[in-house]
Amino acid sequence: MSKDPRKKFGERIRALRKEAGLSQEELANVAGLHRTYVGAIERGERNISLLNIVQLSRALRVTPADLLEGIS
């Protein structure tokens, strides 16, 4: 069975965040989210909403599609 898409999404967020040189707290602040929520996303513990995907993509300066790359 393939890996849970929430885990894959979280790994993608973590990789893009590190590439941008941001801590979880910095990403959360820029995206207008709580830092513990960002941590839960990165661990694949959250089924993230479309609105939060858009907020994260803006904070990371990528498209929402970029966040979903390699998820399927």
Which pLDDT tens digit goes with each residue over 13-64? Answer: 999 999 999 999 999 999 999 999 999 999 999 999 999 999 999 999 999 9
pLDDT in the model for residue 1: 47
User: Looking at the predicted structure, is the pLDDT value of residue 72 above 90?
Assistant: no
For residue 68, is it within any domain? no
pLDDT in the model for residue 19: 97
User: Looking at the predicted structure, is the pLDDT value of residue 2 above 80?
Assistant: no
For residue 67, is it within any domain? no
Q: For position 58, which CATH number holds?
A: 1.10.260.40
Mention every residue, 6+ apart, whose C-beta is less than 8 A from residue 44: 4, 6, 7, 8, 9, 10, 11
User: Looking at the predicted structure, is the pLDDT value of residue 70 above 50?
Assistant: yes
For residue 53, is it within any domain? yes
For residue 13, is it within any domain? yes
Domain that holds residue 25: 5-62
**pTM of the entire structure?**
0.92
For residue 57, is it within any domain? yes
Written as six digits, the tokens of 64 are 């929402």
CA distance 25 to 38: 8
